[in-house]
Amino acid sequence: MEKEKSGVGMKILVEVARVLLGATFVFSGFVKSVDPMGTVYQIEDYLIAFHLSALLPMAVPVAFFLCGLEFVMGVCMLLGLYRKWNSRLMLVVMVFMTILTLYLAIANPVKDCGCFGDAVKLTNWQTFYKNIVLLAFAIIVFVYHERIKNIFTGKTYWMAFLYTLLFTVAFLIYNYRYDPVVDFRPYRIGNNIPELMKLPPDAKQHIAQSVLVYEKDGVEQEFTEENYPWEDESWTFVRMDTKTIQEGDEPPIADFKIVELLFDDDTSDAYAEADITEEVLADTGYVFLMISPVLQDMSQSYISHFEDVLNYSNDYHYKFYCLTSSTVNDIRAWEKENAVDLNFCRTDERALKTIIRTNPGLLLIRNGVIINKWADVYVPAEENLTAPLQSLPYSKMIDQKEEDIKNILWVSAIFILPLLLIKGFDFGLFRRREEELRERKTKKKDN
């Protein structure tokens, strides 16, 4: 009796570990796959922090591989596909990630671990603690992988796995080619940029302390400004350091700044720069912001549509700026190659890459509120720009939260319904097999 209870208890423990581990991997893989370029930028941050800049060209394929692997492993764990090999792989991944995140928590080379993309922000220590729990689950499913329940039989589990793999690849490619179908970033439609640049009243403040380092008899010692030995000539001042006492909160948008470049037609230099951030964000009219983090990397496929919007904004007296992080020389070189008369402004590259993932992209704001945004393929063409913005659907702000929920439901349906069909087919095969076995048993009895 006790053995049976112990067996039932272990079965429940394995199932709980399997569900929580699988669900975490699916969620983590999904939120990163929905925004693969965000994962690319996170990997680039890690490579730079570890002084591996030579590997930056590998960021895109590595991001695709990691996002896809995580999602597929999570689905396999939830459905019980390839239990033996998947449990082994999960254990290897969790051992590696636990060791890595311990180092990240101690050294802190990158503040945001990026394990849940922009959907959920965790500190490096929070990520490490999370991985300790997941590692325990991974050990349980590794040891007792045979107790994991199979959702599909051996006749069809390969179909479920193949469909999961094809869905993941297609989903990654779609989100890479276009803007993410679910927007977790602070530059969502409907967000007020100036408000998100401020900290709330209850935010944790950054606290730092100046530390004076003095040396005596070859030994260095730290003092504060209240107790440093200014009267003792036996101490020699070495340096002053700033020590962080408490890490402060950062506003959701901390690096958005628009610096207008004014060019001299006779030279290749900008003869003046002007910070127009407040002016642009306080503008009561419509303002178009063309986003191109690096001009030399800009796709030319839909550049004519941006020219259409530029001409349209000139006709209806809307402001149009091109925000880039490129140098003045690169801007001049791009202008000569493309012969497009844009009003260029300089903005932080990471901020531009966060606003929209395609290069180029387009943002429409009014009073600092994001009214609309377009990936390059969706930028309105000339034939659609036939009236003032207030008369066109482009100025009608959507409910981004509602849109995200709708897209999640659509994506879930596209993923789950085929799996249900496979399960139905699997169930039919199973029933037919059971009937064949019964018939054989009946014939043996009759003989």
**Residue 119: per-residue pLDDT:** 78
First-to-final CA distance of the chain: 41
Which residues have C-beta within 8 Å of that of residue 137, sequence separation ≥ 6? 17, 18, 20, 21
d(CA 325, CA 347): 5
What are the tens digits of pLDDT across the range 62-104?
999 999 999 999 999 999 999 999 999 999 999 999 998 898 8
From 159, 196, 218, select the one nearest 420 (Cα to Cα).
159
- Single pTM value for the model: 0.80
Cβ pair 189, 43 in contact under 8 A: no
- Which bin fits 436, alpha (ψ -120 to 50), beta or left (φ > 0)? alpha
**What residues are paired with 287 via a beta bridge?**
319, 365
DSSP label of 359: S
From 253, 207, 234, select the one nearest 355 (Cα to Cα).
253
Cβ pair 316, 377 in contact under 8 A: no
For the chain, the structural domain boundaries read 2-177, 207-246, 259-397
| CATH code reported for the domain at 259-397 | 3.40.30.10
What are the tens digits of pLDDT across the range 411-432?
999 999 999 999 888 887 766 6
**What does the pLDDT profile of the chain (447 residues) look like in tens digits?**
555 556 677 888 888 999 999 999 999 999 999 989 888 888 888 888 888 888 888 989 999 999 999 999 999 999 999 999 999 999 999 999 999 889 888 887 777 777 787 778 888 888 899 999 999 999 999 998 888 888 888 788 899 999 999 999 999 999 988 888 898 889 999 999 999 998 777 667 666 667 888 888 888 888 887 787 877 878 888 877 776 666 666 788 888 999 988 766 665 555 667 889 999 999 999 999 999 999 998 988 889 999 999 999 999 999 999 999 988 888 888 888 887 888 999 999 989 998 998 889 999 999 999 999 999 999 998 899 999 999 999 999 888 889 999 999 999 999 999 999 998 888 877 666 655 566 565 556 555
**Residue 157: per-residue pLDDT:** 85
Long-range contacts of 378-384 (CB under 8 A, 24+ apart): 378/178, 379/302, 379/305, 379/306, 379/308, 379/309, 380/305, 380/308, 380/309, 381/304, 381/305, 381/308, 382/305, 382/308, 382/311, 382/312
Cβ pair 141, 84 in contact under 8 A: no
d(CA 56, CA 247): 30
**Residue 46: per-residue pLDDT:** 85
The structure tokens listed for 329 are 């020389």
**Residue 78: per-residue pLDDT:** 93
Cβ pair 376, 358 in contact under 8 A: yes
